[in-house]
Amino acid sequence: MSAAAAAGTWKLGDLEVNRIGYGAMRLTGNGMMGNSDGTPIDRDVAVGLLHSAFEQGVNHVDTAAFYFSPLRSANELINRALSSWSGDVVVVTKVGPARDSSGEWLYAVRPDQLRGQVEENLRQLGRDHLDVVNLRLGGPRTASVAEHFGALAELREAGLIRHLGLSAVLPGHVAEAQKIAPVVCVQNSYGLDWRRADESGLVDLCGEQGIAFVPFFAVSGVRREAAAGQEHDARVHSIARAHHATPAQVRLAWTLHRGPHVLAIPGTTNPAHLAENIAAGTLRLTEEELAALDKPDEGTVSSFPEQPGSAQAV
C-alpha cells in the first residue's frame, strides 16, 4: 500500500482517489494575494516534486488556470509532470475567478465566459477533457449558482468536463446545483481554526449525499494563503509529541477524521514536508484526542466572513 492510500480512498464520481492529495498553488511561488516576489521554484524541481508525490500514491491534484506568478504556471508544471508519468492522476481545477495576463484580478465572470476558462485549462493542461471542474464564484454570500453551474453542466454534456463540483458555498448552493447536475465534491476553507462548514452543516451534508468534502487551508488555517506559522495550539503540540508527529500532521489527521468523505490537498514545495503531509494519513488519533481537538480553541474562527469577490479565491 502506498503512503497516500493509508487513509483510504473516495470516489469523485467514477474516479477513485486516495484521500491524501496535493494542492498546486504554492508551486507558482505566489499566494493568491499576489505575493509573487519570492524566487519561483525551478521547473525541473517542481516536476520532480510532483513525481515524488505520485510515487508516494498521490493521485489527486488540485489546480487552477489562475494559479500563476510572473514566471510559473501551476497548470503548465502539472502538464510537464504528467507528460512523463505513466500512472493515472485525477486533476481537479476550478473556474469562476479570473486574472488578466499581468496577474490583476478581474470581476466575476458571466456564465457565457466559463467556456473560455474551461478551454484555457484544457490548453494549459494539455488535455481533451477535464476530470473535475469546481465552480467558485463570490463565496457563500452568492445568492445563486444556478446560471453558472448550468453553463458548466452544458460543457459536461458536450464532453469537455467529466464531473462537476463547487467551491466556497453553503448547503443551499449544493441543493441548487444538484438539481442541475451531480456534484461530486465541495471545496471550502476548513480546519481546526476555521469551522464554518461545521456550523452550516456542510461537512455532514456532503457525507450524507456521498459528496467529497475537500478542505483548503486545513494546515494554515486563518493564515490562509500564507505559509503555516508557528503552532499556537498547546493541544496540537501535546498530541504531536505523543505520536512523534508534527503539528501539521495532527491538523491534517484531525481533518481526515471528520469522515471518510473528507479529502486533503495540502500544498508545499518542500520534499520533506510533502512526505510528512502524505504520512499524516497513517496517523490515528484516539477518541480522547479527537474530543480534545473538537472543543474550539480561543483562536478558532467560526463566523469569519469569506470576503466574496476578492482575490481569496483558491
Q: Is the dihedral of CA 94, 95, 97, 100 positive or negative?
A: positive
Angle (deg, nearest 10), helices 43-55 and 74-83: 60
The better pLDDT of the pair 228, 121 is held by: 121
Instruction: Determine the Cα–Cα distance for residues 258 and 190; give it in Å rounded to an integer.
Output: 11
- pLDDT grade for 3, boundaries at 50, 70 and 90: confident
The better pLDDT of the pair 246, 220 is held by: 246
pLDDT at 311 over 60: no
> Could you report the per-residue pLDDT of 143-154, keeping only the tens digit for each?
899 999 999 999
pLDDT at 313 over 80: no
Give the type of residue at 251. Answer: R
> Could you report the per-residue pLDDT of 42-81, keeping only the tens digit for each?
999 999 999 999 999 999 999 999 999 888 999 999 999 9
pLDDT at 141 over 60: yes
Taking alpha carbons only, the member of 217, 181, 184 closest to residue 16 is 184
> Could you report the per-residue pLDDT of 79-94, keeping only the tens digit for each?
999 999 999 999 999 9
The better pLDDT of the pair 92, 141 is held by: 92
- pLDDT computed for residue 35 by the predictor: 46
Catalytic residues, by residue number, are 67
pLDDT at 31 over 60: no
Instruction: Give kind and range of the element (H or E) at residue 15.
Output: strand 15-18
Q: 251 and 191 in contact (C-beta within 8 Å)?
A: yes
Phi, psi of 131, rounded to the nearest 5 degrees: -60, -55
- pLDDT computed for residue 229 by the predictor: 53
* Average pLDDT for the chain: 88
Count CA atoms closer than 13 A to 173's CA, side-chain side: 29
- pLDDT grade for 224, boundaries at 50, 70 and 90: very low
- pLDDT grade for 220, boundaries at 50, 70 and 90: low
- pLDDT computed for residue 30 by the predictor: 59
pLDDT at 218 over 80: no
Percent of the chain with pLDDT over 90: 70
- pLDDT computed for residue 104 by the predictor: 85
